[in-house]
Chains A and B, each alone.
Chain A
Amino acid sequence: DTEVTQTPKHLVMGMTNKKSLKCEQHMGHRAMYWYKQKAKKPPELMFVYSYEKLSINESVPSRFSPECPNSSLLNLHLHALQPEDSALYLCASSQVIGGSYEQYFGPGTRLTVT
Chain B
Amino acid sequence: AQKVTQAQTEISVVEKEDVTLDCVYETRDTTYYLFWYKQPPSGELVFLIRRNSFDEQNEISGRYSWNFQKSTSSFNFTITASQVVDSAVYFCALSEPAQGAQKLVFGQGTRLTINP
**A, B from the same assembly:** yes
Q: Which residues of A contact B (CB under 8 A)?
A: 2, 31, 40-43, 45, 48, 50, 55-56, 88, 90, 92, 94, 97-108, 110
Judging by beta carbons under 8 Å apart, are A107 and B44 in contact? yes
**A99-B97 CB under 8 A given contacts A41-B108, A42-B91, A45-B103:** yes
Bound-state Cα–Cα, A99 to B106, Å: 14
Which one, B32, B37, B45, contacts A99 given CB within 8 A? B32
Q: Which residues of A contact B50 (CB under 8 A)?
A: 100-102
Q: State the Cβ distance, B59 to closest chain A Cβ, in Å.
A: 14
Judging by beta carbons under 8 Å apart, are A102 and B100 in contact? no
Task: Give 8 pairs: A residue, B residue, CB < 8 Å, sorted on A.
Answer: A31-B101, A31-B102, A94-B102, A99-B95, A99-B97, A105-B47, A107-B42, A110-B43
Q: State the Cβ distance, B38 to closest chain A Cβ, in Å.
A: 11
> Which residue from chain B places its CB closest to the CB of A108 in the assembled complex?
B43
Judging by beta carbons under 8 Å apart, are A56 and B97 in contact? no
Interface size class of B (residues with CB under 8 A): 20 to 34
**A102-B101 CB under 8 A given contacts A41-B108, A42-B106, A42-B109:** no
In the complex, the 8 A-B pairs of residues with the closest C-beta atoms, listed nearest first: A42-B106, A105-B45, A107-B44, A99-B95, A108-B43, A48-B101, A55-B101, A102-B47
Q: Which residues of A contact B42 (CB under 8 A)?
A: 107
Q: State the Cβ distance, A84 to closest chain B Cβ, in Å.
A: 19
Q: Which residues of A contact B33 (CB under 8 A)?
A: 99-100
